Structure 1
Amino acid sequence: MKLILDTHILLWWWDDSPKLPQAARDLIADLDNQVFVSAVSITEIAVKKSIGRLEVDDDFAHGIEDDGFIELPLTAAHGGRLAQLPFIHRDPFDRMLIVQAQAEDAALVTVDDKVRQYDVKTLP
Structure 2
Amino acid sequence: MEQSSSATNGVATAPGCSINEEWIGRTAVISVSGVLDMLTSPQLEAAISAALQKNPTALVVDLTDVDFLASAGMGVLVSARDQTAGTTGFAVVASGPATSRPLKLVGLAEVVGLYPTLDEARAALGE
Common topology (TM > 0.5): no
**Higher strand proportion:** 2
Q: TM-score, normalised by structure 1?
A: 0.32
TM-score, normalisation: structure 2: 0.31
Q: Which protein has greater RCO, CA pairs closer than 8 Å, 6+ apart? A: 1
Judging by fraction of residues, say which structure has more helix.
1
